[in-house]
Chains A and B, each alone.
Chain A
Amino acid sequence: KNEVEQSPQNLTAQEGEFITINCSYSVGISALHWLQQHPGGGIVSLFMLSSGKKKHGRLIATINIQEKHSSLHITASHPRDSAVYICAATRNNDMRFGAGTRLTVKP
C-alpha cells in the first residue's frame, strides 16, 4: 500500500464546477504539499501546510492531522485548471508522492 493515496485518479468537470481532490497518508508527517503538473510535465508547488487551511485565489487546501487527510478544492473551475494535481507528504526529510489526480475541466 502506498504511503500517500489520492482520489480520484481522474476527474472531469464542467467549467464553473467546484472541485475536490482528496489525499490520505498512512504515517505521521511534518508537512503536506500540493503540486500541479502541467501537460508539458513541469511541476509547480501550490501549497505547503502542516495544519488548518490555506487559500490562494480560487484554490483552497485543508489538512486534518488527526484523520491523516488533506483536500484540495478549486472553486469556479476553468479549463486552464486542467492538469495533474499531486499530493506529497514530508516525513523525516523524505518526501513521498501520491500518484496524482488528472483533472480535465471542459468549457
Chain B
Amino acid sequence: DGGITQSPKYLFRKEGQNVTLSCEQNLNHDAMYWYRQDPGQGLRLIYYSQIVNDFQKGDIAEGYSVSREKKESFPLTVTSAQKNPTAFYLCASSTPRGVNQPQHFGDGTRLSIL
C-alpha cells in the first residue's frame, strides 16, 4: 500500500549528539514536510521540500537540517544546536505544494533526551 514510513518510532539523544529521523514515501509526491508537535501546541513547520535537491526553511528551522537527494526520501537531522529537541516529529507529503492539496502524514517519531 502507498504511504509514508517514519523510523524509528522512538529515539533517544544524548547531549551533544546529532540524530537523524527517516522519512520515506511511495506516493510519488513531489512535496515533503517536517513538522514538530509539542503538547498543547499546533504542528509547526521545520523544513519543506518541493522538489529533489531543493528545500526551504519553515518557522522553526534552527537546530535542524535536511536533505532531499531522492524523491522518496526526506531525512531530518536534529543537531546538537537544537537545545530543546524533545518532541513528536511528523513527516508529511503532498502533490506539488499548492494551496488546496491535502497532506499525507506518517506515524511520527518521538524524540527524547537521555
Contact = CB atoms under 8 A, between A and B. Distances in A.
Interface stretch (B11-19, B60-68, B98-106): B98-106
A88 B99 CA distance: 12
Q: How many A residues are at the interface, by size bracket?
A: 20 to 34
Contacts of B99: 30-31, 90-93
B108 interface: yes
Contact of B100 (A35, A48, A96): A48
A66 B85 CA distance: 39
Interface in B73-113: 88, 90, 92, 97-100, 102-108, 110
Interface string A25-51: 000001101010000111111001010
A41 B107 contact: yes
Contacts of B43: 86, 88, 97
Interface in A76-95: 86, 88, 90-95
Contacts of B44: 97
Contacts of A50: 100
Main secondary structure of the interface of B (DSSP, over half): loop
B55 to A, nearest CB: 14
B100 A30 contact: yes
Interface of A: 2, 4, 9, 30-31, 33, 35, 40-45, 48, 50, 86, 88, 90-100
Given A43-B108, A45-B102, A96-B42, 11 more contacts: A2-B42, A40-B107, A41-B90, A41-B110, A42-B107, A88-B42, A92-B99, A95-B45, A97-B43, A98-B42, A99-B42
